Structures are given as structure tokens and as C-alpha cells.
Amino acid sequence: MSDDFSPGDPMRAARKNMRPAVVRRFYAVAVAAPVAGGFALRLDGRGARTPAGNPLLFPTLALAELAAQEWAGQGETIDPAAMPVTRIANSAIDGVAAAIAETRAELAAYAETDLLCYRAAAPPELAAAQAAAYDPVLDWTEEAYGARFVLAEGVTHRRQPEAAPRAIRAALQALDEPFALAALHVITTLTGSILLALAVFCGRLTAREAWRIGHVDEDFQIGRWGEDDEAMARRAARWREMEAASKIAEALRR
């Protein structure tokens, strides 16, 4: 998960409690099971807990099964980096659940500086690629939320009409499920766009589509200058987080 969060970010605060060390697998079977208050991850019949010691409970069976698949797929050692759904669940339970309003506010702030509103003046090929990728999402945002955003050239901040960010705040205000806000947080910070995150959450875009849109600039530079192995490895790790967050969103929709 990206570490580019504000100092008061509840997701980041929750991750500080997570053990970075790889430990030996201590269970044989991982399954999802209904319990009082939701659905639990069971390891050899015992309930699992988050790094902060909270019960690892999920609001839907589909979500619990996603986590169970991650735990069942571990080898002789447990690698937290290979369990992005579980990592997001830990953040939702240990961080977001106690900071719903703060998480909403941080997400809403992206509506003032959303990636999709900032366009390159040159080269024309990049400007065209941005327009082709970004404009349909902005059109959908206006249709879905009544939020009409204005565009800016370059990186100079341009204040949005108050109605646009207000509409996004209203959409977020309707969400009080920690797992939903945690998934939105991951997608937003990875793409730089709350609009892309909402499109994925609503099923308007797939994770792969939103990822491509959010990386138009980066892909343009890669096409021009080539790939860097370390950068591509970091990008692959970020994609795993993106994919996991989109799976959580899909499970919540179901």
C-alpha cells in the first residue's frame, strides 16, 4: 500500500501496528465462517485478529473468503506483502473504523486537486491521451453526482466551483462502512483521483481501466524513455494493492 499519506491518516496509523517480519506458517487450514457480528477468518478453527488485537471480522462472506484465500495460499512462511486484502482489512478495522469522519475528509480533499482536472499543455500527444482517458470519467461524474469540474493546464492549482467538491462530499457522507472507505482510500491515493476511486467502487470502471487512466502520464514517459526495473517493481506492488481494493469494492457491491 502506498505510504504517501498525510500525518493524520488513519490508514497509515493502522499500518504502523502491522508486524513487518515474515513469520512461519502456524496453521493448516484457513476458512471463512459466519459469526456474531459478521464473518470471520478462521485459522484451524480459531478466530484471527488484527495487529492491534481486534477480531478480524468482515461485513460480508465474500470479503472474508477473499482473506481466507490469501491465508490459505501462503507457503511455509507468511508474507504480509502477499496478502493485500488482509492488509486493507487490518487498516479498515484498526484505523478507519475509529476515524470515519477524518477518512471522509481526506478523501474529499482530493476533489479540489483531482488528477483528472490537470492537463498537460505539451506535447500534444500527451494532451490528447489525457483527454481521451479523463474526459469520459468527468462526464460520468457529472451524470452520476451532478459534479461539474473545471480543467487546469499544468500543475497550477485552480479552485473548483464549490458545487463540485460539495457533491463528492455528499457522496462520501453516505458511506459509513470502514471497509468501503478503506478501499476508496487505497484507490484514491494510488491514482491521485477520488473520481476514479468512486467509478471503481460503483462498478463503472474495472480496476485495470482505472489503473490505466490513472497512469496515462507515467505510461507516456515509459513509452518515450523506456522502463526502469526498480520503478516497475514498485508499480507491480502498487497494482496488487489496487486490485485488492477493487475486489473489496466488488465484494461489498455483491
Sign of the alpha-carbon dihedral angle for 180, 185, 187, 192: positive
Spatial distance between the Cα atoms of 244 and 89, rounded to a whole number of angstroms: 10
Strands 23-24 and 77-78: antiparallel
Q: What are the tens digits of pLDDT across the range 13-27?
A: 555 544 456 689 999
First vs last C-alpha separation in the chain:
24
Provide CB contacts within 8 A for 237, sequence distance 6+.
Answer: 81
Of 8-12, 183-187, 203-207, 243-247, which gets the smallest average pLDDT? 8-12
pLDDT at 10: 56
DSSP 55: B
Q: List the domains of the chain with CATH numbers.
A: 10-80 (3.30.2180.10), 100-253 (1.10.3580.10)
Q: What is the pTM of this model?
A: 0.89
Does residue 46 register a pLDDT over 90? yes
pLDDT at 155: 84
Spatial distance between the Cα atoms of 152 and 220, rounded to a whole number of angstroms: 19
Q: What are the tens digits of pLDDT across the range 84-129?
A: 999 999 999 999 999 999 999 999 999 999 999 999 999 999 999 9
The closest alpha carbon to 147, from 172, 129, 128, 127, belongs to 172
Where would I find the beta strands (DSSP E) of 86-186?
118-119, 152-153
